[in-house]
Amino acid sequence: MEILQDWFGASTLAVLCGDWRIVAAHVVSNTLIGVAYVSIPIVIVAYLRRRPEIEHRWVFWSFVTFILLCGLTHFAHVWTVWQPAFEMQAGIEILTAIVSLATAVALWPLLPRFAKIPTASEYQAVLVQLQEHRENLFRDKDILLRELNHRVRNNLAIVEGSLRLQVKGANEESRNALLSALGRIRAISRVHERIYVDDAQPAHVDTRTFVTGICQDLAVQFSTPISADIDSLAVSVDESIPLAMIVNELVTNAIKHGRHSDETAQIQVTLKGLSRRSDWELQVCDEGPGVDPALVGGRSLGMRMIKSLAVQLGGEIEVFSSPEGSTFRVVAKRYAAEMAA
């Protein structure tokens, strides 16, 4: 206590007022205020560094300068307690007054702009409106896609009907070509029948339904039993149509070539998802005499289509043939699974 009394009592202010406690309060309060004034600009500068997109940055720098000068005035008050450097103190106060006045004058023209800055509740209202607009856009898109799919199905039905009429009056060679084309169109139609059915996920098709349907159509057309073991996989329309055409071509080839001359073809179709990856595996097997290598590596339209469609799906076709039967295997990527992830 005596040390404090000696220290503060030795100041010019203590001599004038006669009470060292008043001097102590003056020194401590001005020091704390000065420290606070210095710390505030540090926070403002750190904020500006983290938010480089903020406009009117000069306003913040004006505040930084003004607040720092205010802190210096308080440190000057403490300094003059022992060193009567009143000229220095007056210079700092004059500079503070100039900067503070300039800042105040410059702020008034910006007031209308600052008043237009949305509040948090206004921002929330805008976000709600944008979300509603986004939902409306998705709903409109869904309606348009449904209408487009409906029109495609109708057009395919018209083409299919026209081909059926041509088949009736065609010779055997033309009839076989028309039936092949009819099967391909029917395979595409099976895909479009399943789009937006049973509230399924938009633009995705369940493999079990349309692949099983293709097998049933071919079984009726050729009076051939076909066993189908199909997993339920969600595939996109872009990959479901090539998959449908591959199934149609492989099963049709198996019915035509995968049997002995005096027997009915026995066809097994499997489509499985591979658990280790987001891929699927298609196999079409028969119990015929084996496939002629010239047929597999030849230039027939069916095999060219199968190879091209397999590459389009990111896979390739493999053929395993023996006197006990043949297996056509296609492994490809599930793009729908990748998009869903």
pLDDT at residue 196 in the model: 59
- Structural domain spans, the chain: 2-117, 123-340
* Closest to 187 measured CA to CA, from 269, 84, 76, 292: 269
Please tell me the distance from the alpha carbon of residue 295 to that of residue 302, in angstroms, as a whole number: 10
Q: What is the structure's pLDDT at 1?
A: 47
What crossing angle do the helices spanning 237-257 and 301-312 adopt, rounded to 10°? 150
Residue 197: predicted pLDDT: 58
Distance in angstroms (rounded) separating the CA atoms of residues 144 and 226: 37
Query: Over its length of 341 residues, how does the chain's per-residue pLDDT go in tens digits?
Result: 444 444 444 555 444 454 556 667 777 888 888 888 888 888 888 888 888 888 778 888 888 888 888 888 888 877 777 677 777 878 888 888 888 888 888 888 877 877 777 778 888 888 888 888 888 887 787 777 777 777 777 777 777 777 777 777 777 777 777 777 878 887 877 777 766 554 445 567 788 888 888 888 888 888 888 899 998 888 887 788 888 888 888 888 888 877 777 777 788 999 988 765 568 889 999 887 777 655 665 566 778 888 888 888 888 888 888 877 888 888 887 654 444 44
Q: How much is the pLDDT for 335?
A: 59
- For domain 123-340, give the CATH number: 3.30.565.10
**Long-range pairs for 279-282: beta carbons < 8 A, 24 or more residues apart:** 279/315, 279/331, 279/332, 279/333, 279/334, 280/207, 280/231, 280/233, 280/235, 280/331, 280/332, 280/334, 281/329, 281/330, 281/331, 282/243, 282/246, 282/247, 282/250, 282/329, 282/330, 282/331, 282/332
Angstrom CA distances, 17 to 14, 22, 76, 224, stand at: 5, 8, 19, 118
> How many secondary structure helices (H) and strands (E) does the chain include?
12, 7
Give the model's pLDDT for residue 341: 43
pLDDT in the model for residue 271: 92
pLDDT at 29: 83
Q: What is the pLDDT of residue 144?
A: 76
